[in-house]
Amino acid sequence: MALPQVDEAAKPLADRLRPKTIAEVVGQDHVLGPDGAIARVIERGFLPSLILWGPPGVGKTTIARLLAEAAGYEFQQISAVFSGVADLKKVFEAAQQTHRMGARTVLFVDEIHRFNRAQQDSFLPYVEAGVVTLIGATTENPSFELNGALLSRCQVFVLKRLDDAALDSLITRAEDHLGEALPLTAEARDTLKLLSDGDGRYILSLIESLHHMGFTEPLDSDGLLAHLQKRRPNHDKDREGHYNLISALHKSVRGSDPDAALYWLARMLNGGDDPLFIARRLIRMASEDIGNADPMSLLMCHAARDTYEVLGSPEGELALAQAVVHMASAPKSNAVYTAFKAAIKLAKDTGHLDPPAVILNAPTKLMKDIGYGAGYIYDPDDPDGFSGQNYFPDGMRRPRFYDPKGEGHEGKTRQRLEYWAELRDKKQTR
């Protein structure tokens, strides 16, 4: 059934200001500008299958429609949220009919990542035969969400969150269209852009709401925030944004930047991440990136987790912040992490070798008779408190896994190990 016609004035502002040409699209010059990859392809009159990957409200649907128009292709649009196998079959049949008539079809699939693997595979024969040119739109990383076979037949273009210049352009267009300036101070205009989080559709929705409120005096930032609903952070706990934020937190701690680490911690908590998940990751950071340079970090992270379990939110979140600041400010060493990986590798390669007989226990007479434990020196009884015996399998060249960085607590550890190494050489030479 055909949708009823909607009067132009009744359409949302975002629809009324939808770009009519590629040149009107803002914020994506890196792909659509004169030197952009898509622009060069369109100039040659050919449109390949492609994936548009970017956050919400940056123009993915509009760009797909305008590319089809520029290349002279028929445009068909479906949404993976509302479409199933039957809908895909109808689209492919229509595209085949168009193909037989000598025309080409762009099939635009919004939120293509929501199709399952089998549904994604159904595109392959039609894309390969040239029946459809597929343009998929996704907010999720295609590497994780799309079949490798489908990805290999598409070019992936990354669209950016709209920057200040692009948002300023949209605000100006909206003011021109509405015939009046926004009732905002300069500071409030900046706040409006922050509220949009780079989403063009959302900022136009906010502008439309302001327009209908009919303010006659300019609002400052506080006044704006009092009248407009703040957008929830764009952060899905099981999607790529979640892993991007934990990666940013981890690398800020590793990079010894407590201010950045606190910022990303706050972003994760504001986005609804489980604080206990964060606590587990902090424990990993303490062991992986700080290690024995500051052994206290690992204890603090366990204490922060326990504190959160006792207090809950929001009081317990302060303990997480305390651990984050401590670790970001602590000396760093991955010496244990690196040593353990090397030890694991050598253990796999030499797993057939037995321990030397000198360090084997001999609980029976037979075991003593065949040499188990013969010549073992009890280190505390040695005058130096260090026997220097070999604890590796006989015949194995002594490896060195652990190489303390000399930072923090490991500085003293390094001195002690160097002393023992020198003493070992002397005793084994004797």
pLDDT tens-digit map of 91-133 = 888 888 888 888 888 999 999 988 888 888 888 988 888 889 9
pLDDT per residue as tens digits for the range 297-319? 999 999 999 999 999 888 999 99
**pLDDT of the residue at 7:** 60
**pLDDT of the residue at 60:** 94
pLDDT per residue as tens digits for the range 170-198? 999 999 999 999 999 999 999 999 888 88
Span 261-265, mean pLDDT? 95
Distances 16 to 5, 11, 166 between C-alpha atoms, Å: 14, 6, 17
> Is the per-residue pLDDT at 320 higher than 90?
yes
Going by pLDDT thresholds of 50, 70 and 90, the confidence category of residue 1 is: very low
> Is the per-residue pLDDT at 61 higher than 90?
yes
How far apart (Å, rounded) are the C-alpha atoms in residues 88 and 78?
8
Judge contact between 57 and 163, C-beta under 8 A: no
Sheet of 132-138, strand order: 74-79, 105-110, 132-138, 50-53, 155-158
**pLDDT of the residue at 272:** 82
> Is the per-residue pLDDT at 167 higher than 90?
yes
**pLDDT of the residue at 2:** 43
**pLDDT of the residue at 197:** 84
Burial of 80 (0-12, 13-18, 19+ CB in 10 A): buried
> Is the per-residue pLDDT at 230 higher than 80?
no
Going by pLDDT thresholds of 50, 70 and 90, the confidence category of residue 165 is: very high
Kindly report whether the peptide bond that precedes residue 383 is cis, defined as omega within 30 degrees of 0: no
Going by pLDDT thresholds of 50, 70 and 90, the confidence category of residue 9 is: low
**pLDDT of the residue at 343:** 94
> Is the per-residue pLDDT at 235 higher than 60?
no
Q: Bigger pLDDT: 6 or 198?
A: 198
pLDDT per residue as tens digits for the range 376-402? 888 898 888 898 888 899 888 899 999
